[in-house]
Amino acid sequence: MSDTVLVTGGAGYIGSHACKALSRAGYVPVTLDNLSTGWRDAVKFGPLVEADLLDRAALDRAFAEYQPMAVMHFAALSQVGEAMAEPGKYWRNNVSGSLNLIESAIAAGCGNFVFSSTCATYGDRDGEVLNEDTAQAPLNAYGASKRAIEDMLVDFSASHRLRHVIFRYFNVAGADPDAEVGEFHQPETHLIPLILDAVDGKRAALTIHGTDYPTPDGTCIRDYVHVADLVDAHIRGLEWLREDKGDRVFCLGTGEGFSVREVVDATRHVTNRPVPMHDGPRRGGDAVKLVCGSKRARDELGWSPSRSSMQQMIGDAWRWHQNGSYAR
Ligand SMILES: NC(=O)c1ccc[n+]([C@@H]2O[C@H](COP(=O)([O-])OP(=O)(O)OC[C@H]3O[C@@H](n4cnc5c(N)ncnc54)[C@H](O)[C@@H]3O)[C@@H](O)[C@H]2O)c1
Ligand SMILES: O=c1ccn([C@@H]2O[C@H](COP(=O)(O)OP(=O)(O)O[C@H]3O[C@H](CO)[C@@H](O)[C@H](O)[C@H]3O)[C@@H](O)[C@H]2O)c(=O)[nH]1
């Protein structure tokens, strides 16, 4: 079996960390990315194929050239606000793009597939801890597109034995502990990098999106997981497929929820600097509380997040934030 893995979205935040982890684990990560939200500079651990998921011929050429033993599929548009405003963009890019990728993989005889899904597929579940058996009811086209791709994988697995692992991530945070790669989105929409921008004056202030939610301090609650722990689970997922253990969904989070205000307080503590901020209205499409039950990943993959304390995630993000950025 080849040791090459095709990493779609390998020029993005999570995909670039996955490429580093794959390379360390002895695999050759081949990034396939259209650089729409990713960065050429972030591709450091293997070759880059600059291509779009919507270009089926380019996908076929990449499979023929590299003959990967597996696909790790990170490439997607993933901003909730944008998905509310432009749902068609999400259905086209994420769903049509994934359909092309799956069909190209099957045509090339590549039968192992690891997919980035999200807790945004659940919608509002009234405070319950979410796990693999929780019913999905997405609130926006982003979550809906991810759920559709999950369904697609199940159908293709039944017809073509496309072995797959689906990871539903909660909120991914932090950066490579060596700061070789990190989170750099333009525009940035994620909470922790935006707080850090406010801390070091790159933006005037953080806006808190909604302070009247039914939570103890009125702000939304999320479960944050360190990107290094997340990609460690992906290596375990790949081994799971190599051992032919069957199709499986795993939720990845820590089980601990933090409100927006709690994340701000932790950032103030870690950076030892004030966080300029003001209260704003709710952002459309946000769930009140998303907290993960990750027992299955721990029991079956032997996954144990080791860097996912809030302090560690903010500390690693802060180190990267002060020294790292990319140019296209
Ligand atoms: N960041 C999070 O907290 C989080 C949480 C849950 C799930 N996810 C999922 O993880 C994956 C990676 O997220 P990220 O934060 O690294 O995003 P990102 O925007 O940094 O990376 C996505 C990459 O995919 C590429 N891409 C997008 N559409 C493409 C296309 N049509 N063809 C080729 N390349 C394309 C982009 O250029 C980019 O490099 C996404 O699928 C996202 O939905 C992220
Ligand atoms: O300027 C900001 C930005 C965010 N928030 C709030 O902070 C929380 C976290 O927001 P964000 O960092 O944008 O993450 P999510 O919207 O929860 O979405 C992320 O996490 C999802 C899983 O929960 C993934 O699917 C998405 O790809 C990823 O963007 C939410 O309550 C936001 O309303 C603010 O208050 N102010």
State the CATH number of the domain containing residue 319. Answer: 3.90.25.10
Nearest CA to ligand 2 atom 26: 78
Say what the pLDDT of residue 328 is.
53
Residues 211 and 296 grouped into a single domain: yes
Which amino acid makes up residue 135? A
Mean pLDDT score of the chain:
95
Model pLDDT, residue 126: 72
| Ligand nearest to the CA of residue 196, numbered in listed order | 2
For residue 306, the CA-to-ligand 2 centroid distance in Å is: 22
Q: How far is the CA of 120 from the centre of ligand 1 (A)?
A: 14
User: 80, 146, 251: which to mutate for ligand 2, most atoms within 8 A of CB?
Assistant: 80
User: Does the residue 328 lie in any domain?
Assistant: no
Cα(241) to ligand 2 centroid in Å equals 31
Mean per-residue pLDDT, 109-131: 90
pLDDT (0 to 100) of residue 201: 92
| Same domain, residue pair 274 and 150 | no
Let me know whether 285 and 316 are in one domain: yes
Pocket residue to mutate for ligand 2, from 207, 222, 223, 265, most atoms within 8 A of Cβ:
222
If one counts the domains in the chain, the total is 2
Q: CA 67, CA 326: separation in Å to the nearest integer?
A: 29
116: Cα within 13 Å, side-chain hemisphere: 26
Cα of 74 vs centre of ligand 1, distance in Å, is: 5
185 located within any domain: no
Residue 182: inside a domain: no
> Mind listing the pLDDT tens digit for each residue in 144-195?
999 999 999 999 999 998 999 999 999 999 999 999 999 998 889 899 999 9
Domain of 111?
A: 4-173+224-252
Q: Residue holding tokens 């993005």? A: 12
Q: Pick from 252, 269, 302: which residue ends a domain?
A: 252
Judged against a pLDDT cut of 90, whether residue 115 lies above it is answered with: yes
Residue 82: which of 93, 72, 73, 74 has the closest Cα?
93
89 in the same domain as 212: no
Alpha-carbon distance values, 208 to 183, 197, 277 (Å): 20, 14, 7
Model pLDDT for residues 238-258, shown as the tens digit of each residue:
999 999 999 999 999 999 999
| Residue 184 located in a structural domain | no
**Is residue 199, in this structure, part of any structural domain at all?**
yes
Instruction: Determine which residue's CA is closest to atom 9 belonging to ligand 2.
Output: 191
Ligand with minimal distance to 264 CA: 2
Is 142 among the residues known to form the active site?
yes
Does 77 have pLDDT greater than 70? Answer: yes
Query: Which ligand 2 atom sits nearest the alpha carbon of residue 208?
Result: 35
- Atom 42 (ligand 1): residue with closest C-alpha? 78
Asked whether residue 326 carries a pLDDT value surpassing 90, the answer given is no
Residue 180 lies in a domain: no
**What helix, strand, coil percent values describe the chain, rounded to 5?**
40, 20, 40
Residue 186 located in a structural domain: no
In this structure, are 147 and 260 located in the same domain? no
Distance CA 77, CA 118 (A): 12
State whether ipTM is beyond 0.90: yes
Question: pTM of the prediction?
Answer: 0.97
- Across the range 57-63, mean pLDDT stands at 98
Instruction: List the catalytic residue out of 142, 169, 213, 224.
Output: 142
Pocket test for ligand 1, best of 17, 78, 183, 292 (most atoms within 8 A of CB): 78
